[in-house]
Structure 1
């Protein structure tokens, strides 16, 4: 499928108020998407509407509470369809992916015993590492690590079968690296782990702005993501298989719901944020039809999401190719991870790079002064940064999402070239 035309991209960008910000007379170019994307107007409107018209706690028998609960039910259903599930009761909301993972890791660890093992990776964001490592420490469980390959910083899956054993209780792995942009073969990893009886926990935070998650295709037991990474507000989303969510013991106050999803959602959630999540998924579902100016007909929301994400992926691949081709001309920079243009399907448009003499912090400062927003440091991919000997400086990270343009990428390349001189 093709990406977006100039006219379609203009229509998309008009929905994001933040894109009108200027720095030193230049339009801001947001390459900080991997740390959190900008938000379209329909999401902002939904949150304002909730706070001004429907704000109420859960379970009330009056108009605003009834309307609020109806919105929450709709949001659970939308998120289930977003991740490829059919049961809205399997969707758990929380403050963020990190908090949700700490909560579920504490519950799962109660089923472990000394001598058991778990598997984590050197590539993951620490939110899918430390919760499991700390839980393993408390339970007397051994932690096994999957390392990365030096040549392209992808997971070294040749180690997986040697690491997996009848003692393996859980494998935690990211769907895509928030540092290198590499997409992991999570369906294959899941199948290999589950053959031995291990649970599989997928961190889809970095994948979800770029590719549509599909828990049925992956076959995993849990999948977590964060709406602020795919054009929504700061809210975490956890999907888990119903049987597991029902059987595990949740840590929570009394009295509180014992049925799903309430069993796992501690305290009152940020209802206005959940309203924004619902609007965000609707924005993504309607994206293809909106830019084409056509009706989506009788398509399901999941089908519409898949169509929109196909357009997003095509557009982002073209941006990634433009960036990688341009970086070939800048000999003092090194792009980490997959750089082979024939392997663009194995990565998303997120790039970490280093300069031979200029620190990542200085690069970020100089880009920021030019209105080009980029991140520096380790971005919580701490184990990878340590593995590469990049602590404490880290790397410079730039990322493109569907509202970024080829002109912005050219501005970025020109600025990197100018800074290099």
Structure 2
């Protein structure tokens, strides 16, 4: 049945590299006349996975559309203009399918897993579920889920939002993927319908099937215009990394949570730099062993940094300052030995995820919607990682440590300012 996963940025060090397929697999991709991208691969597994992704994340919202991506994600699974949501979810359950909806700053992804013999029905159901009618009563029914999502935000998610505000200021990437605490009530459904009409369209969409025949998948979406062609396309606004910013929020906790990051390679840049970002993150995790290192690339920018939670006491400020200084000088930890070890770990992470169909479908869909639209096999990505030099990784580490941003929540008096480090 429909599962509402929490909205958060993925923080795996391997997330930057294209999460793709072994070269022995037949990775196929085509673009329909409507602008819809259709890709598939067969892993010879009994369970099929479909993912439909739209460029409809929070970065695409205008200032008056705050929270629309969150509301749209939670509306998936409701009525479409052709069928009742309850009936479709019942049919999905009848074939043993699992349906998941996720959203982040870039994309909204609706995915389904089911027996591969049910591919035709699965595609039909998922394409309908991906086109919600967004009527007023449907949105009212989802209000409780909106409020629950906001109320149950993790500390990491709250601090991550503060970091993005500090790093991107009022830019599109500074917008939260969730509704704000004071923005969880009713919304003008016609405005949300307009937002959906401009984003849930073929030219902003990618469909990926794992263990699904490519010809059948292509024919289905070519013959059945469930996903409409774009009539009200909005251009994506750029979001530059600013740095030197801090966003702090006092909390009632006796602890403190801090996220610090610098600029990382973007999805729109050179693929080799993306691979270098993943390797640099692996090295940073070894240097900052008591912290959680993350690397989140976006279409036109990226963040490479670390997150730490601590009980607030007399030693907290010194520990945080030490971590910040280690990250600022990460470049000095990049040598031949460190790079070779990090390259090996990065390749293992990529290849390990290559045969996980559900993750693969969503990851490939996001890759198709990235500016480069490139799909690579794991062997290609591994070769790219192998080709990295020490200087390639040093350059990424130097950029990340040059202009830091900070987000902090809790007992913020124990958090030093960046200009004190």
Query: TM-score, with normalisation over the residues of structure 2?
Result: 0.25
Query: TM-score, with normalisation over the residues of structure 1?
Result: 0.25
Q: Which has the higher contact order (CA 8 A, sep 6+)?
A: 2
